[in-house]
Amino acid sequence: MKTLGSLLLLSELDIVSLRNKMYDVVVLLCDEEIYASKMAASISSFCKFYFQFGEAEVTVYLEEVQIGFGAIKLEMEIKSQSFNKDNINQPLTFGIGKISVNENSIEIKYQHRYNFNQYIKAKEIFSIKTVDELMNDIKSKNLELETSLSNLKKAKDLNARMESELEVGQNIQMSMLPDNEYSNEFVNVYAYLAPAREVGGDFYDFFFIDDDHIGFIVGDVSGKGVPAALMMAVCKTLLKSQSRGTNSTAKVMTQVNNEMARENNNYMFVTVFMGILNIKTGELKYTNAGHNPSYIKRKNGSIQKLSDLHGPVVAAMEDLTYKESVETLDPDDFLFLYTDGIPEAHNDKEEMFTDEALEQFLIKDKFMSPKASIENIIEIVEDFEHGAERFDDITALCVKYYGCNQNKRH
């Protein structure tokens, strides 16, 4: 395990500095701006939440598990007597990382494919100090660590409370979802959500805006348990309500983001992909807010990656204006939406399923129907996991467009 560097968090400006450095480091190591953006936002949420207990020092490590795969690990030491892990009623997972809490420190790990040959450059990026960081370094030398934790309750009591919260959160999550299948003369829609034991943040929705337009949504909330489930419920409700009277996904996403970011005291966020399809013309407008790219499976068997990113994750920052893109679905084309639980599924060897494996499936699958294709990808992912514990929800939504004025259904 190699150390990238350490940073003392004395103010929220230090958190901003850490977030920006980690974004640059992750882009260098894996060349994925969407993943880097999600990770940087996750780190910012993680640090802001624990910063409420007092000053803290964050150390970043690069750990190679196998060739081409490993983890970036953040270890935060809380420099305050007010911190007690038993008083945390907040979900202990932030975004795409996996978190564990010890007596006076917190650790979060981001597993991914990183280019470990770039370690030296990554360390250089992290070591560049701002004026504020230099002042913090001087101040940190004069700080005396006084750590005195209250007696901890037994681990089984904490686990029991967490399990109860997770169960309630999962019930909220599932009760908010619509029926998973819909069909008429223009479209056939099928959706699937398999919650992980510890996560309650994925959601999907589809609904008619007017006689000619139908909306599709897939999202992923940072965190788990009741807070994540409630955040999901708010986001899903706002997306649907703001869609009334408009077929602009950019307008909907802009309004929802400003509404949710205004009072986001828990520093949570949501990745969202939203599309609005004109069932008479096949015109598809879509906005991607920090989410995985969706795909169009064309009638001729080719796939088209909807890779445009129209803004950051929802609820992270106010006063943002999201954009949108436009594509056209032809009769017998499919639209495939999903969350990162599919490409980031892990097996018992800690290998990831990967985006490449998903694309290979989309190319090879015959797409007989939305339901059949989703069942096929879920079966492939479960075979790949080989019984390994799942730590993220898996969600997929698929739409077949029949077109207008033709013999559509078989």
Which pLDDT band, with edges at 50, 70 and 90, does 297 fall under? very high
**Same structural domain for residues 93 and 239?**
no
Which pLDDT band, with edges at 50, 70 and 90, does 310 fall under? very high
**Same structural domain for residues 135 and 183?**
no
**Same structural domain for residues 184 and 257?**
yes
- Which tokens hold the place of 306? 């909807």
pLDDT tens digits, residue range 237-281? Answer: 899 999 988 999 999 999 999 999 987 877 889 999 999 999 999
**Same structural domain for residues 137 and 170?**
no
Domain endpoint, select from 143, 178, 199: 143
Q: Compute the average pLDDT of residues 366-384.
A: 96
Which pLDDT band, with edges at 50, 70 and 90, does 118 fall under? confident
Which pLDDT band, with edges at 50, 70 and 90, does 12 fall under? confident
| pLDDT surpasses 70 at 348 | yes
**Same structural domain for residues 100 and 205?**
no
Q: CA 294 to CA 305: how far, in whole Å?
A: 6
The dihedral formed by the CA atoms of 378, 382, 388 and 390, expressed in degrees to the nearest 10: 10
Domain containing residue 95: CATH number: 3.30.565
pLDDT tens digits, residue range 233-249? Answer: 888 889 999 998 899 99
Q: CA 138 to CA 142: how far, in whole Å?
A: 7
Which pLDDT band, with edges at 50, 70 and 90, does 100 fall under? confident
Q: CA 333 to CA 296: how far, in whole Å?
A: 7
Q: How many Cα atoms occupy the beta-carbon half-sphere of 172 within 13 Å?
A: 22
Domain containing residue 183: CATH number: 3.60.40.10
Would you say residue 151 lies in a domain? no
Q: CA 64 to CA 67: how far, in whole Å?
A: 7
Domain endpoint, select from 83, 111, 143: 143
**Same structural domain for residues 123 and 170?**
no
**Same structural domain for residues 202 and 287?**
yes
Domain endpoint, select from 143, 176, 202: 143
Question: Looking at residue 161, what is its pLDDT?
Answer: 62
Rounded to the nearest 5 degrees, what angle is found at the Cα of 344, between the Cα atoms of 340 and 348? Answer: 150
- Which tokens hold the place of 145? 């660590």
Look at the alpha carbons of 136, 142, 148, 154 in this order and tell me if their dihedral is positive or negative: positive
Amino acid, res. 246: T
**Same structural domain for residues 105 and 208?**
no
Would you say residue 330 lies in a domain? yes
Would you say residue 319 lies in a domain? yes
Would you say residue 213 lies in a domain? yes
Place of tokens 């939406």: 337
Range in 59-63, 146-150, 197-201, 344-348 the model is least confident about: 146-150
Query: In which domain, by residue range, is 376 found?
Result: 166-401
Look at the alpha carbons of 250, 256, 262, 266 in this order and tell me if their dihedral is positive or negative: negative
Would you say residue 158 lies in a domain? no
- Helix and strand totals (H; E) in the chain: 9, 16
Q: CA 62 to CA 175: how far, in whole Å?
A: 40
Model confidence, pTM: 0.60
Would you say residue 242 lies in a domain? yes
Amino acid, res. 313: V
Phi (first) and psi of residue 309, to 5 degrees: -115, 125
Would you say residue 36 lies in a domain? yes
CA distances to 60, 184, 282, 295 from 278, in Å: 47, 14, 5, 17
Question: Looking at residue 150, what is its pLDDT?
Answer: 46
* Mean confidence (pLDDT) of the chain: 83
Q: CA 94 to CA 100: how far, in whole Å?
A: 11
Question: Looking at residue 196, what is its pLDDT?
Answer: 78
Q: CA 200 to CA 232: how far, in whole Å?
A: 8
Question: Looking at residue 197, what is its pLDDT?
Answer: 63
Indicate the helix (H) or strand (E) that contains 272: strand 270-278
CB 321 within 8 A of CB 255: no
Total domains in the chain come to 2
**Same structural domain for residues 105 and 185?**
no
**Same structural domain for residues 233 and 313?**
yes
CB 400 within 8 A of CB 187: yes
Would you say residue 252 lies in a domain? yes
Order the strands of the 56-66 sheet from edge to edge. Answer: 2-9, 56-66, 69-78, 105-112, 98-101
pLDDT tens digits, residue range 161-207? Answer: 656 655 655 556 555 566 789 999 999 999 998 887 655 578 999 99
Question: Looking at residue 276, what is its pLDDT?
Answer: 97
Q: Which residue has the higher pLDDT, 343 or 144?
A: 343
**Same structural domain for residues 58 and 197?**
no
Question: Looking at residue 147, what is its pLDDT?
Answer: 41
pLDDT tens digits, residue range 41-67? Answer: 888 888 887 777 778 888 888 887 777
**Same structural domain for residues 209 and 121?**
no
